[in-house]
């Protein structure tokens, strides 16, 4: 069973601060990593994916991947109250079912004004 | 359509009843996934279709769960003799799956409550 672990939070940051969300995974051979945002009562929405070691930036979001440490993180710069949501880390299955995702339980982020 | 749709959005069933949950994927999307999300948890994989073929059903928790996609578009997840532990949000996701970078788009989910 592939494990995806996230710090459960809740994480609370003031508006304008950097929010840092962390995730570790058990399958050393995993190749594809995703961050989803889920507002309360809504479905997950993809915000970033990363395949290569290093950083990937998209607007206020930066995903960081370290395959040697089996660690992936998401940084949110200039956090806004609208960023308040649960952030789900997901790892793609390497087996025959392309696209099958293993999710962590999510980190709840609250950005207060 | 504009996105993945699911119906009903909410379903309350008495223990022992059968339920059927419907998913309409984005038109043209080859891949369709069903996930189960319990309260406070991340989604867990149930089953996967490529067109009409069910290629992976290893996540279905028991033989009370059955899914189909007979014409390669709409899919139905059926749960027989529902139990309280089946209470969860059932999410459907679809993707083009032409490359391994294709995004999975999730539907709004069906919240099932078994009394």
Q: Nearest by CB to B42, which of A32, A43, A88?
A: A88
Q: Taking 90 as the threshold, does the pLDDT of residue B2 lie above it?
A: no
Q: Do B48 and A100 touch (CB under 8 A)?
A: yes
User: Which residues partner with A54 through β-bridges?
Assistant: A65
pLDDT of residue B103: 81
Sheet strand arrangement including A54-58: A4-6, A19-25, A71-76, A61-66, A54-58
CA distance A79 to chain B (A): 23
Q: Taking 90 as the threshold, does the pLDDT of residue B110 lie above it?
A: yes
Q: Determine the average pLDDT of the residues in B93-101.
A: 76
Q: Do B42 and A90 touch (CB under 8 A)?
A: yes
Taking CA–CA distances from B105, the nearest residue in chain A reads A45
Q: Determine the average pLDDT of the residues in A52-62.
A: 95
The residue among B16 and B102 whose pLDDT is bigger is: B16
Please give the share of chain B, as a percent, with pLDDT higher than 70: 96
CB–CB of B90/B10 below 8 Å? no
Q: Determine the average pLDDT of the residues in B1-14.
A: 92
Q: Do B107 and A96 touch (CB under 8 A)?
A: no
Taking CA–CA distances from A102, the nearest residue in chain B reads B44
Question: Of A9-13, A30-34, A98-102, B57-61, which gets the smallest average pLDDT?
Answer: A98-102
Which residues from A are below 8 Å from B48, CB to CB?
97, 99-100
Q: Taking 80 as the threshold, does the pLDDT of residue B45 lie above it?
A: yes
Cis preceding linkage at A10, omega within 30? yes
Q: Nearest by CB to A105, which of B40, B101, B102?
A: B40
Q: Determine the average pLDDT of the residues in B71-85.
A: 97
Taking CA–CA distances from A38, the nearest residue in chain B reads B42
pLDDT of residue B101: 61
Q: Determine the average pLDDT of the residues in A48-69.
A: 95
CB–CB of A107/B41 below 8 Å? no
pLDDT of residue A96: 65
């Amino acid at each position: 069973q592939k494990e995806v672990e996230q710090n459960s939070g809740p994480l609370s940051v003031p508006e304008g601060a950097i929010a840092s969300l962390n995730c570790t995974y058990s399958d050393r051979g995993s190749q594809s990593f995703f961050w989803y945002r889920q507002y309360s009562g809504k479905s997950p929405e993809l915000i970033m994916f990363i395949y290569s070691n290093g950083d990937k930036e998209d607007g206020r979001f930066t995903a960081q991947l370290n395959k040697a440490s089996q660690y992936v993180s998401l940084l949110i710069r200039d956090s806004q109250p609208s960023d308040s949501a649960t952030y789900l880390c997901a790892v793609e299955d390497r087996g025959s079912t392309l696209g099958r995702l293993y999710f962590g339980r999510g980190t709840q982020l609250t950005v207060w004004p | 359509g504009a996105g993945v749709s699911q119906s009903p959005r909410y379903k309350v069933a008495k223990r022992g009843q059968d339920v059927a949950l419907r998913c309409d994927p984005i038109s043209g999307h080859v891949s369709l996934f069903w996930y189960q999300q319990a309260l406070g948890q991340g989604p867990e994989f149930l089953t996967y279709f490529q067109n009409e073929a069910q290629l992976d059903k290893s996540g279905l928790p028991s033989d009370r769960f059955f899914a189909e996609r007979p014409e390669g578009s709409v899919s139905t997840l059926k749960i027989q003799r529902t139990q309280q532990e089946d209470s969860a949000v059932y999410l459907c996701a679809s993707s083009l799956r032409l490359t391994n970078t294709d995004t999975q788009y999730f539907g709004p989910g069906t919240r099932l409550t078994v009394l």
